[in-house]
Amino acid sequence: MILQNPPDGPLPLPRRLELPVIEPTTESAEQIAALQREIRRLARERDAVVLAHNYQRPEVQDAADFVGDSLGLSRQAAQTPASVIVFAGVHFMAETAAILSPGKRVLLPDLRAGCSLAATITPEDVRRWKGEFPGYIAVGYVNTTAEVKAELDYCCTSGNVLDVIDAIPADKGILFLPDFFLGAHARRMRPDRRIEVWMGECHVHRGIRAETLNAARVRHPEADVLVHPECGCAGQLIYEMGQGDVEPEGLHITSTEGMIRAATENAAPKFIVATETGIMHRMRQMAPTKQFIAADPEAVCAYMKAITITGVRDSLTLDQHHITVPPEIAARARGAIDRMVALGR
Ligand code: 13P
Ligand code: SF4
């Protein structure tokens, strides 16, 4: 399971997660507007804050108090004065919020909202791996269960992975988990560091291949390109940039929030977007005069899409589903998460 170089063959599949069927949004515009008003009213009554990830359905994003990447939402969860947090995201994000805000009630509208990447590693795997590399510092992507986080020294997101690596003394080796592509990205950006990489993957980003992205670039040569580092194509792009085969101009490899910043702050009129397609809703809202094209229109996360607008409303009315983390696990995970939230501000 431990890699030094990118594999040629497929990476291991997630171990235990059912992929939910994606139900289309069937409500009319009027029904959606009414549900959104109801959610705002219920949130006020219950002293709740609604947090939504950039990959959520458009109507769920529009009903939220804050929309952002996993790091930004963790920060919101840590600092909100609200007594209830409705997390329109996936399970590990709600767990992280529960750890950061132990006095609050954290609700996940649908328990099927897991993460194929988080499912690629267990706490036993981490303990075994640490045993093989004594003295190494364990750095885990936030896309991990609370039990895995309890085994880590540092947590990170795609938004601050390099800040985290830079904060670790240069003579220390690093175990990076669970995303192979993000780990490969870190290794290429910090070639002087000893970084072992776990061979986990997200099924959505793995599916965005270099060939698909290259075909989109040929069709839209004038477009800037926004790539999430979890993507299968990111590894190849960074390699080709290193070889001088790809012009870095107009290419941005960054977290979901970094992609939104690049789309709004950059002068380019057109962007190819290589990540889950839900992010384009916010891009279009924030930069309405620009054009956004999905590198792969099939890149849709069924776990994120398990959350619906009625599901968010029901979570507030029915007080479901309450996400808790056992205190002993939470205490051990908290140090790694606090370091993540503090770094790379
Ligand atoms: P971000 O940390 O960039 O929001 O990504 C989270 C995620 O689940 C990527 O698939
Ligand atoms: Fe997990 Fe991938 Fe979905 Fe992100 S897009 S939540 S990494 S399965």
Question: What pLDDT sits at residue 139?
Answer: 97
Instruction: Identify whether residues 265 and 322 lie together within a single domain.
Output: no
Nearest CA to ligand 1 atom 9: 230
Q: Per-block average pLDDT, block size 10, for the chain (345 residues)?
A: 39 64 96 98 98 98 96 91 98 95 96 94 95 97 95 90 94 96 89 95 90 91 93 80 76 90 94 97 97 96 98 98 96 93 71
Q: What is the pLDDT of residues 149-162, one digit of tens each?
A: 999 999 998 878 89
Report residue 158 as tokens. Answer: 């795609």
Which of 158, 182, 227, 255 most suits a substitution to test ligand 1, by most atoms within 8 Å of the C-beta?
158
CB 87 within 8 A of CB 94: yes
Nearest CA to ligand 2 atom 6: 115
The CA 262 to ligand 2 mean position distance, Å, reads 21
Inter-axis angle of helices 232-243 and 180-189, nearest 10:
20
Inter-axis angle of helices 210-219 and 232-243, nearest 10:
70
Question: What pLDDT sits at residue 8?
Answer: 44
Whether residue 222 is contained in a domain is answered as yes
Q: What is the pLDDT of residues 75-108, one digit of tens each?
A: 899 999 999 999 999 999 999 999 999 999 999 9
Question: What pLDDT sits at residue 283?
Answer: 97
90 within ligand 2 shell (Cβ under 6 A): yes
Question: What pLDDT sits at residue 16?
Answer: 60
Question: What pLDDT sits at residue 261?
Answer: 94
- Dist CA 218 CA 302 (whole Å): 29
Q: Which residues pair with residue 85 across a beta bridge?
A: 49, 106
336 within ligand 2 shell (Cβ under 6 A): no
202 within ligand 1 shell (Cβ under 6 A): yes
Q: Which residues pair with residue 270 across a beta bridge?
A: 291
**CATH number for the domain harbouring residue 65:** 3.40.50.10800
Residues written for the chain: 345
By residue range, what is the domain housing residue 73? 29-114+304-329
Instruction: Identify whether residues 89 and 235 lie together within a single domain.
Output: no
The CA 95 to ligand 2 mean position distance, Å, reads 15
Q: What are phi and psi of 21, to 5 degrees?
A: -75, 135
Question: What pLDDT sits at residue 12?
Answer: 46
Instruction: Report the domain count for the chain.
Output: 3
Give the contacts of 83 (CB within 8 A, at least 6 positions apart).
Answer: 46, 47, 48, 103, 104, 105
Whether residue 299 is contained in a domain is answered as no
Nearest CA to ligand 2 atom 5: 301
Whether residue 24 is contained in a domain is answered as no
Instruction: Identify whether residues 103 and 143 lie together within a single domain.
Output: no
Instruction: Identify whether residues 50 and 180 lie together within a single domain.
Output: no
Instruction: Identify whether residues 136 and 153 lie together within a single domain.
Output: yes
| Cα separation of the two ends of the chain | 33
Amino acid at 71: L
Helices then strands, counting H and E runs in the chain, come out as: 15, 13
Instruction: Identify whether residues 236 and 288 lie together within a single domain.
Output: yes
Instruction: Identify whether residues 69 and 137 lie together within a single domain.
Output: no
Instruction: Identify whether residues 151 and 11 lie together within a single domain.
Output: yes
36 within ligand 1 shell (Cβ under 6 A): no
Q: Which residue has the tokens 């291949």?
A: 209
* Nearest ligand, CA 206: 2
